[in-house]
Amino acid sequence: MKFLVRGGKKLSGEIDVMGAKNSVLKAMAASVLFDGVVNITNVPLIEDVFRMRELLSDIGAEVREEKRKLSISTDKLRGDTLKKSVSERLRASIVLAGPILARQGKVFFPYPGGCVIGKRPIDVFLDGWRAMGAHIKETSEGFEIKAKKLRGTDYFFRVVSVTGTETLIMTAALAEGKTVLRNAALEPEVSALADFLNRAGVKIRGAGTPTIEIDGTGGRLLKATEPFRVMPDRIEAGSFLILGAVLGKGIRINHCNPEHIMALISALHDAGVEVKIGEDWVETKKPDRFSPVNIKTREYPGFPTDLQAPFAVLLTQAQGESIIFESIFEGRLGYVEELKRMGAKIVPCDPHRVIIAGPTELQGREIETPDLRAGLAFVIAALLAKGKSVIGNVYQIDRGYERIDERLRKLGADIERIE
């Protein structure tokens, strides 16, 4: 599928933020730790959720879907091998390995796939499991991990990892004794997962700080006392805020948590964009002119790497030179050549830095989506550009943004899905 976009239209109106992709996937994986049914609400209907559901079903979980609610039972769990064809398309598949290992005592997972944005080393997962007593064998197909009994450990993350932190929290939940995770990720999705597990019988302290302590249950499965409500997707909220700043006559983004995107709001303010902030909404419109801004991506609460590509589109309209320093992934600037083909003046300095000069008028082109976040940046660029654009490989966009074409049309965008 492709998107056909005719650019140049100003947008206005309101748009709702869906549940967070990076939160719902971890809640789905955590269902393996439970005895009985786990209910998850405010579920975004995106491709990554469908793929995680497929992985769970393949190992014997019963997954029922009703509107935006998932009910997952793993009482008849039978498998310990993650389906290769799905895992290779879903980077988050690795987070399932921890709960399966904790419950079954063994797991086999293929090399995980997902976006092509540079190396995402999995040694933080493997080293953590080894420290907890697991034995790991690497094969040509993936990793075979076994553990007679997982033990609590004191583990330091050499590199801050959100999925690593979340996966080791889930693994430690059923382990024997106390686990201490140091240099842990601070993202709000980590705190949401920890809160859910705490309510189910695990004792977790320090989530949202660099040091997290987990008192495991020693193998006893958890009991869900209430549904897991998926938090608002802060990356989607930020993406829409950038869209409103570039093209909006006045766009209000509802059902979000402004505190989760303060780094972006601060950068927009420096660029000359006014953002109105409410309790669960933000609102913005295009200013008369944009000022250049230098940004460096960082782990939360710094500027999100997932918003770097959309913000680059905004910087093509700024009066002067801006610098983007991508410090998380060395391949995340791969979209730059496509923006240059649209007329953007971007000079790569090295694999982590680019200089963007503006303002420049973008021209519609046929472009291919390399990854999820760059895909949304291309949508914004195409809506901003003069003329017609065709965006290919929209599966990548559908992985994280639900029915984005339909939702943007309600704001006045000229975008349609074509074969």
Q: Is 368 exposed, middle or buried (0-12, 13-18, 19+ CB in 10 A)?
A: middle
Q: Give the distance, in angstroms, between the CA of residue 259 and the centroid of all CA atoms in the same chain.
A: 17
- Rounded distance, CA 162 to CA 235, Å? 14
Of the residues 92, 97, 115, 194, only one is catalytic, namely 115
Contact 325, 295 (CB under 8 A): yes
Inter-residue contact 77 to 221 (CB < 8 Å): no
Structure tokens at 79: 């498998």
Interaxial angle between packed helices 123-131 and 162-173, expressed in degrees from 0 to 180 and rounded to the nearest 10: 20
Cα distance between residue 222 and residue 187, in whole Å:
24
DSSP helix/strand/coil, 127: helix
Buried residues in 82-109 as b, exposed as e (16+ CB within 10 A):
bbbebbbbbbbbbbbbbbbbbbbbbbbb
Q: For residue 352, what is the enclosing H or E element? A: none
Distances (CA, A) of 365 to 105, 199, 243, 288: 51, 51, 19, 26
Complete edge-to-edge strand list for the sheet that includes strand 154-156: 154-156, 178-182, 211-215, 203-205
Phi, psi of 361 (to 5 degrees): -85, 120
* CA 37 – CA 317 distance, rounded (Å): 50
Q: Which of 269, 272, 278, 284 is nearest to 239 (CA)?
A: 284
**Is 256 tagged catalytic?**
no
Outline where 200-320 has alpha helix (H).
234-247, 262-270, 308-315
- Mark residue 236 as left, alpha or beta (left: phi above 0; alpha: psi -120 to 50; beta: remaining): alpha
CA proximity to 404, closest of 254, 239, 242: 239
d(CA 402, CA 47): 8
Positions marked catalytic? 115
